[in-house]
Amino acid sequence: KTKYVVNGFKIEFVSAYARQDKLFLRFEFENNTPYPFDSDEILFKITQQNSFNKKSSPEEIVNPIYQFEENFINIKPNQKIYKTFVFNAFKVNNDRIFKISVLEKNSAIEYYLPIIAKLVNQPKALSFNDKNNSNESKEKRSKEVSQKDN
């Protein structure tokens, strides 16, 4: 797994799924401090792997078309949350990285997680067939998701 931990705050890339022309990216955010964590916003960028070489190719901002909740996070002390973002499908060149940035509220601190192109470019297929759409399967998946999100 790809993760970034600093000062008790963790961002972890959980998974990438694709369905038709949509890309679903799921992240875990964890606050292991005794203080609440609030962010102003979450940004997504495609940038050079070598951050010192910004002159050759500028950062490209990628905006989600949908997210399950707001574009910021509020995490109580010693708590974790999961967030899923939906994008129109895109590819990242192998010499570049996809980066999620979390800007801490009332601070100049930016927490970020670089993700190699392969993880974004090769998502798992997200499919729905009749067998998986039965009420029993839906209830099971719903239970698994709610347990994971808590």
Convert the pLDDT of each residue in 44-76 to its tens digit.
999 987 755 555 668 899 999 998 777 678 999
How far apart are the C-alpha atoms of 103 and 109, rounded to whole Å? 6
Structure confidence at residue 141 (pLDDT): 52
Tell me the C-alpha distance between 126 and 89, whole Å.
13
Tens digit of pLDDT for each residue in 112-149? 999 999 999 999 998 766 454 444 555 555 555 455 55
Q: Please, which residues have CB within 8 angstroms of residue 103's CB and are 6 or more apart in sequence?
A: 39, 40, 41, 42, 43, 109, 110
Residue 130 DSSP symbol: T
**Nearest C-alpha neighbor of 2 from the set 79, 99, 147:** 99
- H-type helices in 72-111, by residue range? none
pTM of the model: 0.77
Residue 29 near residue 11, CB atoms below 8 Å? yes
Can you name the residues that pair with 26 across neighbouring β-strands? 15, 84
> How far is 29 from 103, CA to CA, in rounded Å?
13
